[in-house]
Chains A and B, each alone.
Chain A
Amino acid sequence: MKEELFVSGRNIPNIDPFLNIWHWEIPVYLYLGGISAGIMFFAGLFTVLGKEKEMPTTVKWSTFLVPVALVLGLFALFLDLKHQLFFWRLYTTIRIESPMSWGAWTLMFITPLSMVWAASYIKELIPGWKWKLGILDTIEDLVIKTRKPLAWAMMALAIVLGVYTGILLSAFNARPLWNTSILGPLFLVSGLSTGLAAIIWMSKSHFERTVLTKIDIVLIGVELFLIIHLFMGFLAGSAVKIEAAELFLGGEFTTAFWGFVVILGLIIPVILEILELIGFKIPIWIPSILVLIGGLIFRFIMVEAGQITRFLY
């Protein structure tokens, strides 16, 4: 019989309680990054498809949210840093192997791009708008002329950003819950879906909402499929992976995850969306807000739970 009587283990009062070094800042950062990726991807997609007229909220109005979300996200990341004066060090090197590094660089490109994209529609939003500086008019002309290539760039960068929000976590092999390659696609799909939810909520056109709702139903389906895969992978894995899965299957995150993320954040909104397509009257903001809140809770849970899982020796 091998019974563990007493393990004093490690107990360093100033270190061990703070090894869970990531708090609310990182999930918020990942969440805002995901929504931005979603909005930019669909703005780019429907521009490339030439649907600016039919889908004005997707292509134009919702993109005003993106720079705000990205700047807030970057600010959250900044708050997470413990040695903030050296923030600029992020931009003195590019380290391909470090997700944190290429995430910071992606944001460096995508934030200005989202700003000029939204700004190029400001004259349509506010009739009579005048730029104070001549140079801004030149930039605006340039953006309008190169709209299609920019839309492609935006789609590509949005996918990189969306996948990055998952890879930031999945790159850590020391945290078994995160260390699965499904996290990249899962966070991407979840980001796209939350982005869509935001657009659907803003949209006033019935046609646009119907198109987007159909896409969202597919995305939520894919997300559920990936979540099932995630747990299948864990349960077929090594001891540390099974332990990670057990946090969600009877452990402390069970109710939060299955209740708030899966049922309230995915299954109920998808049912409501289907009912709406069939013709029932559903207030448009209900499924949207459920998806948005579910996505936020999902990221909080993943960041929090991942830091509990570790190798035992």
Chain B
Amino acid sequence: MRYGMAIDTAKCVGCGDCVVACQTENNVPNGYCRDWVVENVNGSYPNVEIELRSERCNHCENSPCVRCCPTGASHIVKGGIIMVTHNECIGCGACIESCPYDARYSHPEGYVDKCTFCQHRLEKGQNTACVEVCPTTCLHFGDLEDPYSDVSLALKNRTWKVLAPEAGTKPQLFFLT
């Protein structure tokens, strides 16, 4: 099993519902977030191109954050999800430095926090909070190894890219272009 997410940059309207849903679901402290929306505007008038991307931890297959963690607080669980055990984390910041996507942040309580692919919801057979609320259904989540999962179907007939593949971390977020 290998969880991944496909994000349709052509459909996203940048409403930020995924961000709010995550903050609510995961009790993210005020002013922090585990996912965010980036708006890139390229080109010059009249050929302007906007790309909206809902980003979060890429749950990298070759995850530098897990490798550099001195305590084992950052670890990989079933489906390739990268988790942080809060009361094992010493807050050394090594994983924050190691992430090319700046997906981690220092929680006001001291430990490091980030997206969990809503692992607590997956266990109950539910989908992630961000996917559930997206009004344009531009987020697709599921098992990449299952050819009929939502994410595999979304990737099937579209072109996609991953962010900063040159960082070598094998990210598992796919941006449909």
Contact = CB atoms under 8 A, between A and B. Distances in A.
Interface of A: 1-10, 12-16, 18-19, 21-22, 80-87, 89-90, 92-93, 95, 97-101, 104, 171-175, 238, 240, 307, 310-313
Given A15-B33, A89-B73, A311-B166, A4 B41 contact: yes
Nearest to A19: B102
B96 interface: yes
A100 B70 contact: yes
B135 interface: no
Contacts of B27: none
B159 interface: no
Given A12-B36, A83-B90, A104 B110 contact: no
19 contacts: A5-B44, A5-B48, A10-B38, A16-B102, A21-B106, A22-B93, A81-B92, A81-B110, A84-B91, A87-B90, A93-B70, A95-B70, A97-B68, A98-B67, A171-B67, A174-B100, A238-B166, A310-B100, A312-B164
Contacts of A310: 100, 102
Contacts of A93: 70-72
Interface string B88-106: 1111111011111010011
Given A12-B31, A12-B36, A172-B97, 7 more contacts: A8-B40, A12-B33, A83-B109, A97-B67, A97-B68, A172-B64, A173-B64
B38 A307 contact: no
A21 B90 contact: no
B10 interface: no
Contacts of A12: 31-33, 36, 105
B71 to A, nearest CB: 4
Contacts of B32: 12, 14-15
A172 B68 contact: yes
Which of A7, A14, A22: most chain B Cβ within 10 A?
A14
A309 to B, nearest CB: 11
A173 B44 CA distance: 33
Contact of A89 (B90, B98, B168): B90
A135 to B, nearest CB: 33
By secondary structure, the B interface counts as: loop
B144 interface: no
B15 interface: no
Contacts of B89: 83, 86, 89
A87 B92 CA distance: 9
B3 interface: no
B69 A98 contact: yes
B167 interface: yes
B70 A174 contact: no
A129 to B, nearest CB: 39
Contacts, number: 150
A84 B110 CA distance: 8
A82 B106 CA distance: 8
B163 A7 contact: no
A10 to B, nearest CB: 5
A82 B93 contact: yes
Nearest to A171: B68
A168 B139 CA distance: 37
A257 to B, nearest CB: 20
A117 B85 CA distance: 39
B93 A21 contact: yes
Contacts of A9: 38-40
Contact of B167 (A6, A85, A173): A173
Contacts of A8: 38-41
A24 to B, nearest CB: 13
A86 B87 contact: yes
Contact of B43 (A3, A80, A85): A3
Given A18-B106, A98-B94, A174-B167, A2 B42 contact: yes
Contact of B90 (A7, A15, A86, A313): A86
Given A12-B36, A14-B32, A82-B111, A98 B93 contact: no
B41 A5 contact: yes
B102 A10 contact: yes
Contacts of A14: 31-32, 105
Nearest to B105: A15
